Amino acid sequence: MSADVYGQMTRTAMITSSARRGPLNLRKFYWDFLPKPFSDEPHLLVHSVAQFFFQYNLLFTANLKHLWVRRKAGGFALGYRVNTRSSIAGILYMFESLDIFYK
């Protein structure tokens, strides 16, 4: 193998092994505004936890600093993406927001 192939393998390994702090593609993200107290007191974003439910069952909790929160016109908004896949075995829901990925 040539040096170019090894160099390409090294660059690919460095790119894929780095920690991702945001989605590579922001398309198909839903943005829901957070309540007004977060706009009034932005430090609450560090101290608050979001709980996610499906059919009245708690799936998981996540601190807001690990979720995709952006300042938008009128306050802060939570960005997330939900992908669905179906097969004969059932339906698979995948939730993604910044550091959190849940199946």
How many separate domains does the chain show?
Answer: 1
Q: Where are the alpha helices (DSSP H) in 1-76?
A: 3-17, 36-40, 44-47
In this structure, is residue 37 part of a structural domain? yes
- Domain residue limits at 61: 22-102
The predicted-structure confidence for 15-59, as pLDDT tens digits, reads as follows 444 455 555 565 678 888 989 998 898 898 889 998 888 888 888
Q: What's the confidence (pLDDT) of residue 11?
A: 43
More confident residue, 54 or 3: 54
- Domain assignment present for 59: yes
Q: Is 89 inside a domain boundary? A: yes
Residue 77 falls within a domain, yes or no?
yes
Q: What per-residue confidence (pLDDT) applies to 27?
A: 65
Average pLDDT of every residue of the chain: 76
Q: Are strands 30-33 and 68-72 parallel, antiparallel or unpaired?
A: unpaired
**13 is a domain residue:** no
pTM: 0.63
47 assigned to some structural domain: yes
